[in-house]
A and B are shown apart, each in its own frame.
Chain A
Amino acid sequence: MGILRWWSGLLLAFGLVAVLRMFVPLPFANEIMIFSIYTIGCNFLLGRVGLISFGQPAYLAVGAYAAAFYFYYYGTNPYVGILLGIAAGILVSLVVGPLFVRLRSDYFALVNLALAVIIFFLMQKVLANITHGDNGLWFLTSLSSTPVLDLTRPNQFFVFALLVGFAVWAFYKYLDDTVYGACCLGTKINEDKLRFLGYDSFRIRLLAFVIANTTTALAGAMYAVYLGFVSPEITSPARAADPVVVTILGGVGTLYGPLVGAIAYTGMKDVLSKALGNWELIIGFLLVFIMLAGERGIWGTLEPRLVGLWSSLWRRRSPAEGREM
């Protein structure tokens, strides 16, 4: 029973996404899934460890380009590309992590954004003869189909993305329950006390950094497979705010916030930018508004109410049952 309860929230959430799939066009559903996986890393860093990163596009690009290089120059199997993307994410986070996580939170944010810009320049100009600069790498037609879940078909890609998303969410939910998850929260709330208890805050942060950025790199590799091309645009400074905006829109530190945020953000982008054609204006002022309105986001505001509604329904029924007996 306890196990069922642990999984019930996840099953409900992803069941709802699967239902949503019937009402929205397929590209939209795929975009939501990848975007929410992209965001959960940022959400974990900001909500659980207290590190804000404007540099998530850097790790997205690492995953995407690792997969793209493989598809363009070496092989065709989409699953191998995604695994390579994950491996590249782990590698890069392990290289830059020890340097970055010992910085103060404000410097951390600045350094990450600088890294994103540097990777943008690297891919656009410095490595232009490998990455083809702004034209990007195109490999949509060269991907080979795989027997069980054929990732070259958007339809089956969605099933794959849903499964991956489910696994990622289950992993983050599991992290929240472990001692390690509590330690992460500890580094955010009171690092001195945590150190006093004998934990190494540097290692906790480093692991969190690697976990979050590997998830982001996974999303990048999935983008590469799904879109069939990768260009430096993926890490442009103008998009650096996207994951932070979605995190805050959904609700910082909540488990389902990134999912809700991704749905709301992608939906708004689709509807509003078509109507107004000026996306920056909307997203900028929306961000300021949410921050001033109390930074709890959509899911952060809804969740306590839903829980309250649920428990009040439950309570109202229980005495009635008691009376019948």
Chain B
Amino acid sequence: MVDLQLLFSSVVFGFSLGSIYFLLSIGLSLCFGLMRIISLDQLLYYSIGAYFAYSVGVLVDNFWLGVACGMAIGGLAGLAVERLVFLRIYERDITFSMITSFGILIGGIGVIKLFWGVVPRPVPVPIETQVSILDTEISVYRLVVIAIAGLVYVGILLFLNRTIIGKAIRAGIEDVEHVEGLGINVYRLFSITFIMAGALSALAGALHAPLIMVDPQMGLEVLAFAFMIVIIGGLGSIKGTLVSSLLVGQIVSIGSLIYAPLALMAPFAAMIVILLYRPTGLYGSPLLKR
């Protein structure tokens, strides 16, 4: 019988991990939904966010300022990449964007190595207090991470459902040509989405930084998990991304409680089962529209 306190703490751990995964893969999912591109460079903004959280944290000794800086830089980097590269390849096949963005990811890792070197960097945990819930010691920082992810989810939902730009983006996910026909500049929508995605990926990286070591390969390490999450949830669905990232977070966390090496394999098995059941993921649209 598994210890209940251990189980509870690993459930919290799973939720915090799932929250970070959610912030990370929402960018991938949004970019696919609206622009029909697979934007692997989101994982680069994830590393950028983590590195800025580290550097600003060292400079001014304030973690949250580092997070904000990382988000700003991540968004700007996303905008630059979108203007310079993706603008030229929107019309092309989906595999095209995948190869190109993989190139950006690898090249960006090279740039990171150029600036920060290959040595892994530690980031101190900003909130070290623990609270006792149900006789279990829980790190407050993990709860804060979960709360931030929840706020971001609500924020995205409000943005997409209440504002005119958000409604246009949602309509664009359904049918880009009709939105263009209504006289809305879809390329501006694309840029906005890209900035948002880049900033959220950077936020994921910055929040993840205190929990792991920051190193140049960190983007590639979470790549497989980001992939599995968007596959399980279905590309382009925000709700699906939330559900599947929490699912994968729990699988990793509870799996490692049962048998440590299993934790890395179990999400893959879950993905295979779900793909057998639904080839386009839990909430994915069955057809590729463009």
Contacts and interface: CB of A to CB of B under 8 A. Distances in A.
A280 B109 contact: yes
Nearest to A112: B227
Contacts of A105: 94-95
A285 B107 contact: yes
**Interface on chain A toward B: helix, strand, loop, or mixed SS?**
helix
Interface string B86-113: 0011000011101110111111111101
B102 A244 contact: yes
Interface string A256-296: 00000000000000000000001111111111100110010
A295 B18 CA distance: 37
B261 A284 contact: no
Given A106-B38, A117-B223, A237-B223, A287 B106 contact: yes
Contact of A287 (B102, B235, B268): B102
B224 A237 contact: yes
Contacts of B268: 114-115, 118
A109 interface: yes
Interface stretch (B120-128, B132-140, B273-281): B273-281
B288 A285 contact: no
Given A238-B217, A282-B110, A109 B261 contact: no
B228 interface: yes
Contacts of A54: 98, 102
Interface string A35-49: 000000000001000
Contacts of A109: 38, 95, 98
Nearest to A238: B220
Interface size for chain A: under 10, 10 to 19, 20 to 34, or 35 or more residues?
A: 35 or more
A278 B109 CA distance: 10
Contacts of B99: 52, 244, 248, 287, 291
Contact of A52 (B95, B104, B230): B95
B251 interface: no
A241 B94 contact: no
A244 B32 CA distance: 21
A292 B88 CA distance: 8
Contacts of A284: 103-110
Contacts of A111: 227, 231, 271, 275
Contacts of B105: 284
B265 interface: yes
B221 interface: yes
Contact of A295 (B96, B275, B279): B96
A204 to B, nearest CB: 18
B240 to A, nearest CB: 13
Contact of A288 (B85, B98, B223, B228): B85
A113 interface: yes
Contacts of B96: 291, 295
A65 B151 CA distance: 46
B279 A121 contact: no
A126 B272 CA distance: 19
Contact of A291 (B100, B223, B272, B279): B100
Interface in A116-163: 117-118, 121-122, 125-126
B288 A114 contact: no
A102 B228 CA distance: 17
Given A117-B224, A121-B261, A126-B265, A107 B106 contact: no
Given A114-B224, A238-B217, A292-B100, A103 B264 contact: no
Nearest to A128: B261
Contacts of A283: 103, 106-107, 110
B114 interface: yes
* Max chain A C-beta neighbours (<10 A), residue from B32, B95, B109, B220: B95
A18 interface: no
A291 B98 contact: no
A323 interface: no
Nearest to A289: B103
Given A104-B288, A113-B224, A114-B227, A280 B94 contact: no
A121 B265 contact: yes
A99 interface: yes
A244 B95 CA distance: 11
A110 interface: yes
Given A118-B265, A287-B106, A102 B279 contact: yes
A122 B111 CA distance: 30
Give the most central of A54, A102, A114, A115: most B CB within 10 Å: A114
Interface in A86-112: 99, 102-107, 109-111
Ranked nearest first, the 9 interchain pairs of A and B with the lowest CB-CB distance are A284-B107, A281-B110, A287-B103, A284-B106, A117-B224, A280-B110, A288-B103, A126-B261, A52-B95
9 contacts: A111-B227, A118-B268, A121-B261, A121-B264, A122-B265, A126-B264, A278-B113, A288-B103, A292-B89
Interface of A: 46, 50, 52, 54, 99, 102-107, 109-111, 113-115, 117-118, 121-122, 125-126, 237-238, 241, 244-245, 248, 278-288, 291-292, 295
Interface of B: 32, 38, 85, 88-89, 94-96, 98-100, 102-111, 113-114, 217, 220-221, 223-224, 227-228, 230-231, 235, 261-262, 264-265, 268, 271-272, 275-276, 279-281, 288
